[in-house]
Structure 1
């Protein structure tokens, strides 16, 4: 008797709770109407898709288009000089606080990098 009450009472509460949260039958065939109208015809959309595929803008399968490599932006000496200038100005992030450089500080950091590349070239 105790075993049946231990099992049946929680089961009854579970079923009652589940039924109280049910909103309605799950059918999956609800129709959602949209009032938006397309400005392009089916043929125009198909032509755009064919052109995009020909240009390589649409990936097929798991193959992603390879982007062209960019040239080298800064030398190692320039990056190190900019880092040292930012460290001197206290603009390196410590913890969760992200310091924001003023335009004047950003220009000083950029000029430190430019000076470093001029020293290397001489």
Structure 2
């Protein structure tokens, strides 16, 4: 095979392959024209917010009346989270861990200790009692 054929043949293939992909998108969305003004859309969004319905994207909605309020204090939640982390129950990435009954009781007791004011707090490897 001659040198000119070795060089020109791949260039010709590259040019024809590029032309095949240059025809444009397969389908085009039709142009969208809104029938509502910006103020009307904002008013609808505020009404939805006040009614407790929020759009989360991807077609999902969250209704505020289905949410549960916690009766735990901030200190209890922090103590329970620290205890769960200490027990290695931190869920991260695609790995999900579940607490055993004994671990769940340890976490609950850590929260109760925090609520009573005698929580044990770990700070950079040291343990301090409040």
Find the structure with the greater CA-based Rg: 1
TM > 0.5: no
Greater RCO (CA < 8 Å, at least 6 residues apart): 1
